Amino acid sequence: MEEQAQKLKMQTRDMKKQNMILSQAKTELDKKAEELMQASRYKSEFLANMSHELRTPLNSIILLSKFLRDGLDSSEQSKKAEVIHNAGNDLLLLINDILDLSKIEAGLMELDISSCTSEQITAGIDDLFTPIAEDKGIEFIIEDQIQSTINTDITKVSQILKNLLSNAFKFTRKGSITLLLSLDSKKRQLEFSVIDTGIGIPEVSLKQIFEAFKQVDGSISREYGGTGLGLSISLRFAKLLDGELWVDSVEGQGSTFVLVVPYRDTMKTHTGSNRSHSSPVETLSRQLVQTSAEQAVDDEEKLSKQYNFKGKTLLLVDDDSRNIFALLALFQSVGAQTLHALNGQEALDLLVDSGEFIDLILMDIMMPEMDGYETIRKIRQDKKYDAIAIIAMTTKAMDEDRQKCFDAGANDYIAKPINERSLMQLSQLWIEKMKG
């Protein structure tokens, strides 16, 4: 009896010891998980800040090199300015790609599912790639077998397709490129295929091209350009959409990339965090800088023909002299009267004197002492200035930064580096809206 009691006592002691070890291990694991989360938060914060630091000087490089190119008489010099402009745009694409990747990895990328027509997807693509096809003498076919309303994240699907088509055009010298949209009602999925008759991909590389910074051949980057990030972002977007992306290819004959996403019945579902305000111009400006092909289309249009700000007065609030120079020149070129303030307090003082003449305020957010948010809040406290449109200019691309602009009282925001066409469009839109 006593022996049994002794045994039981020992067993209980053993169990207690085991429990203690387990609980210690759990505490250790929780600590490690917390540390990991902290590291991930630091990483995404670091990337957001870095992208801010990089976008600010890029903003003036892109805008001013474009002015220089358009205003120069000597074609030799104008070509050089064009090289600077294109290099700036390439750098911006790279920064956007890296930011996209880090947002996906930090779990910050959101889905925005809404209903759209398949024509909406193909129309944008047609406009963009048909001129390139004509230029290269390649046949470009769009076959839309869906031709109806679908529910998906149109921005992400379009971004994937544009990336696949840019690659197809990049790696095809002759023959044809086809975009095929179809619906598999049994599997309840939408299928998008991009078929080209280009250089093809060797079998050994079929998997690795979906990894970040991987290209079939290191020397390809010299011949064809690119960074090796497009497919890796596209694959992650496809996964985010609960879909798949794969490729079939025969070297020397061509490639077929297939994107499959589930068919959704819901009419309007928003997943991800609460993004109550999402300005269409942000999507627009991203789309505008998406590929160099789009840039070419953008370049052909002359701003002064499209926009007229005669009789309108703009107040620019920014502490960076390069931005002031570039943005004032941009608005003066379309007939606007311009004023500028170097900080929040100066802007408030200027409003007291000239508030009644001002139609639009472009407000930089990152300024010393009184930042853009506080300045906007102060302006909005005075009913006198209710009819003035305020557009915040922010280099921080995270959703909460945009939300802060709206909370302070801005009508809209625009991401830096600023796409001039988007800024003109947005400025015109808000001036008209506030007057009406």
Beta carbon nearer to ligand ADP, 99 or 339: 99
Phi, psi (degrees; rounded to nearest 5) at 381: -70, -20
Give every CB contact of residue 192 below 8 A, 6+ residues apart in sequence: 157, 160, 161, 179, 180, 181, 258, 259, 260, 261
Residue type, 126: D
Task: Decide if residue 287 touches ligand ADP (CB under 6 A).
Answer: no
**220 lines the binding site for ligand ADP (CB under 6 A):** yes
User: 127 to 166, contacts with ligand ADP by CB under 6 A?
Assistant: 163
Please report how close the Cβ of residue 343 comes to ligand ADP at its closest, in angstroms. 41
Structure-token pair, residue 265:
């019945």
CB of 282 to ligand ADP, least distance (A): 23
Using the rule CB under 6 A, is 199 a contact of ligand ADP?
yes
Residue of this chain nearest to ligand ADP (CB atom): 226
Residue 216 is a binding residue for ligand ADP (CB under 6 A)? yes
How many residues in the shown chain lie near ligand ADP by CB under 6 A? Answer: 20
Tokens describing residue 106: 């930090």
How many whole angstroms separate alpha carbon 207 and alpha carbon 35?
Answer: 32
Q: Are 86 and 292 in contact (CB under 8 A)?
A: yes
Q: Give the shortest CB-262-to-ligand ADP separation in angstroms.
A: 24
CB 311 within 8 A of CB 336: no
Q: Name residues contacting ligand ADP, limited to 177-196 (CB under 6 A).
A: 196
Q: Which is nearer to ligand ADP, 209 or 358 (CB)?
A: 209
CB nearer ligand ADP, residue 216 or residue 424: 216
CA distance 130 to 204: 32
Q: 222-241: which residues touch ligand ADP (CB under 6 A)?
A: 226-232
198 touches ligand ADP by CB under 6 A? yes
Query: Which CB atom, from 241 or from 334, has the smaller least distance to ligand ADP?
Result: 241
The SS3 of residue 19 is: helix
Q: Smallest distance from the beta carbon of 257 to ligand ADP, in angstroms?
A: 7
* Residue number, 166 or 422, with CB nearest to ligand ADP: 166
Write out the H or E segment, with its range, that includes residue 284: helix 280-288
Told to check if 97 binds ligand ADP by CB under 6 A, we report no
| Residues between 246 and 265 with contacts to ligand ADP, criterion CB under 6 A | 255
Q: Which amino acid is present at 309? A: F
User: Residue 141 and residue 176: Cα distance in Å, rounded?
Assistant: 8
Is 168 one of the binding residues for ligand ADP (CB under 6 A)?
yes
Min CB(227)–ligand ADP separation in Å:
5
Compute the distance between CA of residue 190 and CA of residue 194 in angstroms, rounded to an integer. 14
Residue type, 25: A
- Is there a contact between 171 and 215 (Cβ–Cβ < 8 Å)? no
Contact residues for ligand ADP (CB under 6 A)?
A: 163, 167-168, 171, 196, 198-199, 201, 209, 215-216, 220, 226-232, 255
